[in-house]
């Protein structure tokens, strides 16, 4: 049986924070605000993975009220979610993600994000798609207020 999961995440962009997407630190004058490292791509992917297995969500596992997850490496959290999904009897087929932001241009960093995600999810890079889009200067992703990410994950049962 195959199953699909969906994930969404958004974070504010502010000065004095790092911009980390898919575990890649991207040079920019602003970064994402959050309790963890606020890696929107990792968060959307985590929720997509968990969603495919109907295992709840990232926030339920690593609440932002818990000091333990302050400045947490979200790629590590993604890896833990993936392990949980695997232990529940699923293998990953593929993921596809879209990051929505106006600036900076992400094209030079996409390949490294895909490689990082593939490594954490235990698959080869050809199973991982990451795309970046602007929202044509509309809304919070368009005026530089924030970044959003969407992801879907397809898994199949191992038993």
Beta-bridge partner residues of 13: 32
Q: Among 41-49, 92-100, 105-113, 121-129, which window interacts with Mg ion (CB under 5 A)?
A: 41-49
Residue pair 149/97 in contact (Cβ under 8 Å)? The answer is: yes
- Interaction with Mg ion in 43-102: which residues (CB under 5 A)? 43
- How long is the chain? 159
Does 9 interact with Mg ion (rule: CB under 5 A)?
A: yes
In the bound complex, which residue of the shown chain has the CB atom lying closest to Mg ion? Answer: 43
* 109, two tokens: 């960093």
Question: Which residue's CB is nearer to Mg ion, number 71 or number 156?
Answer: 71
Does 30 interact with Mg ion (rule: CB under 5 A)?
A: no
Question: Which residue's CB is nearer to Mg ion, number 43 or number 109?
Answer: 43
* 5, two tokens: 């999961």
How many Cβ atoms from other residues are within 10 Å of residue 144's Cβ?
Answer: 14
Which residues contact Mg ion (rule: CB under 5 A)? 9, 43
């Amino acid at each position: 049986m195959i199953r699909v999961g969906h994930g969404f995440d958004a974070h504010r962009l502010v000065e004095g924070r790092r911009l980390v997407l898919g575990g890649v630190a991207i040079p920019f004058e602003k970064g994402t605000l959050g309790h963890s490292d606020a890696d929107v791509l990792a968060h959307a992917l985590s929720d997509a993975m968990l969603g495919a297995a109907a295992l709840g969500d990232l926030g339920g596992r690593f609440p932002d009220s818990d000091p333990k997850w302050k400045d947490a490496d979200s790629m590590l959290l993604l890896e833990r979610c993936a392990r949980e999904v695997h232990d529940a009897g699923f293998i990953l087929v593929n993921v596809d993600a879209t990051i929505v932001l106006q600036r900076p241009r992400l094209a030079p960093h996409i390949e490294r994000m895909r490689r990082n995600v593939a490594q954490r999810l235990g698959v080869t890079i050809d199973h991982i798609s990451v795309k970046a889009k602007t929202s044509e200067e509309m809304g919070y992703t368009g005026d530089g207020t924030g970044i959003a990410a969407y992801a879907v994950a397809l898994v199949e049962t191992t038993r």
